[in-house]
Chain A
């Protein structure tokens, strides 16, 4: 009945590998393989075919031919249209992240200091909007921001402005949309960090002569660094590639790489170019992710008591 010991130990993998391998399998299936496919497409050229690109690896005249087309990448770095779109994306994402941090930190701080029952209600309120479809919420902003929208009508009624503000179809609308949509991703990691904060450390700082503001800057803020970084990453990374918000709210003036990618893919039908755009976007985001990971590692090594 029982298998020989050497067989169970040496040949058959331990049952725990069955569990451990699931995330790796997931990563392989849904990240590594699609990534390689996109990478392959990025090295081909556009063609009128199904699928609409030339093969990279071909069997011709009894020989295996590998043809890497670097044209897409060269185009990316030389055509100012792409370079500008990248820079503009990074700028919009960076400013939105900063705005999210400035709004999110005080919110997370306040929630973390509330009584446990109030905390849960407020966290619920932060998360609640995401129960509604993302697309519907962004459409709702059109209703608020457009020339004869809710906001303008209200401001006109109060008498703050004489003529409606043109917010819709400007970068400002895109900023509002991105900050609105990604704010929970800033608040939640900050909250998780701040709620663990030991209030006695602040008392110790006061006791040693630090005024509240100084104590915040020297104790609370540095100690919430990992929460700040996590929140910024969670906002910044998806915001760089954001397509829906600049498309619906930002108007044609809001240049972002996500829209560039969309138009290459669906308007121009240039799959290889679109793939190259996606690959470069991913690589440029990998750098901050690696920095973040390194920092987190250091944090874990340093903090375990």
Chain B
């Protein structure tokens, strides 16, 4: 019976993906409970070799617990975690070929940079000169050779992160875990380090799972993202799939800003759909079919940057409405106009500030038109 069950559970997460790539890490039906609270619930994931994979979600969504299960600090209540064909559930953290870069780096304060990086190598009983060579190499990769003799508290946040990265990569782990890698850095340094981190990880070809609550960070760094909510995986996909083709309202709203128009399916044909909403004067026209039925309650979601704002009435037949500019949020590179429609519904539209005095184009209380294309938005049924 148990063999049958094992075979059945393995089916959730195939050993290879659609393109025939081997799934290096397989998380199969993993569930983690703390005193009756379910932190991670029936999670199935597969991660390819050399991939940077992000677990994205708000606080308490279970992403950190899942990461700690991978590191071995938590044991799944049920389910299996497989790395490179080996089930690692029962391996202690110190026996796993997995290293982690901790959120606040957890550098050993009483050791120098060198000693920190050498710590893991020493545990393997590596020869002294081999350790010295490897430490030197790692310092070179993160460009910290000059700081080898410093103590962690004598380093800036960005430098500490480089040391933490070098320490977690020194043992050439099969899997690298990053826990909120940019959490302790300021915004400017963050975008710079994101690129650098990705460069180093890709250069070394190490498989990497990262946890973050920052959607920008996940999109910048990861090849694929798993969106988590309340212990469940909501959607797995590349950054643009998650952004442009959200499969649920949660996914659409979590990543980026969004206009959500509630309505009912009016016409559902093979090549188009129209949605009737009280918010808009006319029906929304979508240039592709959906697997729905007439009268179904749906939400039409369109991103503000796909909504055009103009003084004159657009020539297109559908998907336009007249309104009044109620709020303007200036972001430098672009402005977000909040346009109030006659129904009282407010729609957001981006306007790129290409000219320096572009903000003179529209101002508060201006009568404007908002419009979007036939394929600008998605219909969300859940």
Contact = CB atoms under 8 A, between A and B. Distances in A.
Interface of A: 198, 200-201, 203-211, 214, 218-219, 222-223, 302-305
Contacts of A206: 72-73, 92-94
A203 B93 contact: yes
A203 B94 contact: no
A207 B101 CA distance: 9
Interface residues of B, number: 26
B124 to A, nearest CB: 6
A198 B107 CA distance: 11
B92 to A, nearest CB: 7
A198 B108 CA distance: 10
B286 interface: no
A225 B123 CA distance: 22
Contacts of B93: 203, 206-207
A214 B153 contact: no
Contacts of A201: 106, 108-109
Contact of A305 (B99, B102, B119, B153): B153
B255 interface: no
Interface string B56-71: 0000000000000001
Given A201-B108, A303-B153, 18 more contacts: A201-B106, A201-B109, A203-B93, A203-B102, A204-B100, A204-B107, A206-B72, A206-B73, A206-B94, A207-B93, A207-B98, A207-B99, A207-B100, A207-B168, A208-B168, A208-B171, A214-B123, A305-B153
A211 B94 contact: yes
B110 interface: yes
A210 B110 CA distance: 16
Interface centre among A204, A206, A210, A223 (most CB of B within 10 A): A204
A77 B231 CA distance: 76
A219 B71 contact: no
A224 B104 CA distance: 20
Interface in B282-298: none
A73 B277 CA distance: 103
Contacts of B110: 222-223
A305 to B, nearest CB: 4
Nearest to A200: B106
B190 interface: no
Contacts of A219: 108
Contacts of A207: 71-72, 93-94, 98-100, 168
Interface in B308-326: none
A211 B73 CA distance: 13
B119 A208 contact: yes
